[in-house]
Structure 1
Amino acid sequence: MPLGLFDLHCHLLYGIDDGAVSLEESLRAVQMAWDEGISHIVFTPHYTPGKVSAEKEVILERINEVREAAENAGIQGIKYYCGNEVLYVSGVEELLKQGEIFTIADTKYVLLEFYQGVRYQDMFQGLSRVVRKGYIPVLAHVERYVCLYQSVERIEELRDLGIVIQMNTECFFQRIPDVRMVWYRKLMKAGYVQLISTDAHGADRKPPRMRKAVEWLERHCDQGLVERVLYENPARLLEGRIL
């Protein structure tokens, strides 16, 4: 598999959230990502408003520590970026304006998640508030939200709002997918999904896996869509450009 893939959603920084627990595990996970063809990693530790989160300085220090350890181990070709996966609650948009939250690579893009059972009206209103503050939400793991399942109309409404739709690579692992995954794969083939990411949580539990998803895309989607999802869209996002 050629190098050059992007992972814009993962939890591989050790000791920050529910991801990697040690520098050694972070390093093994980065090696796995490299072996999967990933050369751009955005670390996105969880940020939950109202709960204790790691200081921004600590996160930046950990990124530098992982980078240095990886380079010393001979992994020379990966570029590292910072972000947060932010659980949306009312007031998140103000925390963004105050600089309390990392956007993706210091752009206007911000990775947002919701509770899986969120009402669509609440999701739409929350995303709209973030957009009005000048940010571009990236909706994390679209496949998890009950309110979006089997509703192309709602997906289209989110896209019209300017929301970037991200799907986890695990959606493409099953050889015989369940009914839900069949529908989300159709969503991908129809061009509604703009990014895929691993949402990896370490080297041992939910490691970074990209290869099978890439192989599925190459078998089932037209080449233009494959290029956009795997390369063009994430590259533009990291540059702060509109997708």
Structure 2
Amino acid sequence: MIQFLKNLFGGSDPVLEVSLRELGVDMHSHILPGIDDGADSLEHSLELVRAMKELGYRKLIMTPHIMSDFYKNTPEIIREKLQLLRQAVKNAGIEIELDCAAEYYLDEGLLDKLDNNEELLTFGDNYLLFETSFLNEPLNLRETIFKMRSKGYQPVLAHPERYTYFYGKFEELVALRELGVVFQPNLNSLAGYYSAGAKDVAERLVEQGFVEFLGTDTHGMKHIATLHKVLSTKHLVKALALPLRNRQL
């Protein structure tokens, strides 16, 4: 339910506070225990699941990192952790649906997986979540996008607002959509959590309607705390008015 709240910063315009029940499904988080830079224990995972449910989520599609040099996760490892967390959530009496995919780092390992037709963890309608370096545009970015598409995947670019190599080049970022990429900004970017630059790009993507998914990218309780701040941002209201695909998952 939407509530009109007084603007705490002294303005005369009301701030809208929105429940994330209107979104329902999160498709980007690092809540599975002990396999990347997110939750480091089962207890930590349970704390995050409880917090996400309190925010209004009914389903979490958790996406551990897969990176050739750092996080050498496999579908088998990720599914094993999913089953472990599902059982713990059931034992704790928390009613929420849990599923998994992965966040793939664009490196040679991902290209090899695509070339060798290895199993990749996707969600929904064969959506493949991927990220790149935040600082440097990969030379093979467009080649890899084309390869994903040719293999039947729908590429989802995680947190497009955070790639500094696109700062000041908004049209080049948007041009990726012509290659079949869909965008998933992080909710916390709307509260300026990462940087002013990321906030600016995220807001612009929302204003232009260039957002298909919204994700929390939750790693820990610090992200949960910022999500509560996001609830009173005007751009969240605008984002939730878009035909977001989270609701179809």
Tell me the TM-score normalized by structure 1: 0.81
Alignment-derived partner of residue 230 in structure 2: 213
Alignment-derived partner of residue 235 in structure 1: 247
Where 1:19 maps in the other structure, the secondary structure is coil
Post-superposition shift, 1:30?
0.2
Within a 5 Å distance, the mapping from 1:2-21 to structure 2 comes to 3=21, 5-21=24-40
Q: What is the alpha-carbon distance in structure 2 between the residues aligned to residue 81 and residue 19 of structure 1?
A: 16
Post-superposition shift, 1:134?
1.9
Alignment partner of 1:68 out of 75, 80, 87:
87
Alignment-derived partner of residue 183 in structure 2: 165
Post-superposition shift, 1:103?
1.8
**1:53 matched to 2:72:** yes
Structure 2: state its 5+ residue gaps.
Answer: 1-18
Post-superposition shift, 1:157?
1.5
Per mean C-alpha deviation after superposition, the further-off stretch among 30-39 and 44-53 is 44-53
Alignment partner of 2:128 out of 86, 110, 113:
110
Post-superposition shift, 1:138?
0.6
Identity of aligned residues (%): 30
Alignment partner of 1:140 out of 158, 173, 193:
158
* Structure index of larger Rg: 2
Q: What is the alpha-carbon distance in structure 1 between the residues aligned to residue 219 and residue 239 of structure 2?
A: 30
Alignment-derived partner of residue 24 in structure 1: 43
C-alpha contact 1:33 1:208 (8 A) present in aligned 2: no
**1:187 matched to 2:205:** yes
Q: What is the alpha-carbon distance in structure 2 between the residues aligned to residue 52 and residue 222 of structure 1?
A: 32
Q: 1:112 to 1:66 in 2, by over 3 A?
A: same
What is the one-letter code of the residue matched to 1:62?
K
Post-superposition shift, 1:68?
2.0
Post-superposition shift, 1:50?
5.2
Q: What is the alpha-carbon distance in structure 2 between the residues aligned to residue 121 and residue 62 of structure 1?
A: 34
Instruction: Tell me the matched-pair count.
Output: 228
Q: What is the alpha-carbon distance in structure 1 between the residues aligned to residue 43 and residue 81 of structure 2?
A: 12
Structure 1: state its 5+ residue gaps.
Answer: 239-243
C-alpha contact 1:136 1:162 (8 A) present in aligned 2: yes
C-alpha contact 1:42 1:81 (8 A) present in aligned 2: yes
Output the aligned Cα RMSD: 2.7
Post-superposition shift, 1:120?
6.7
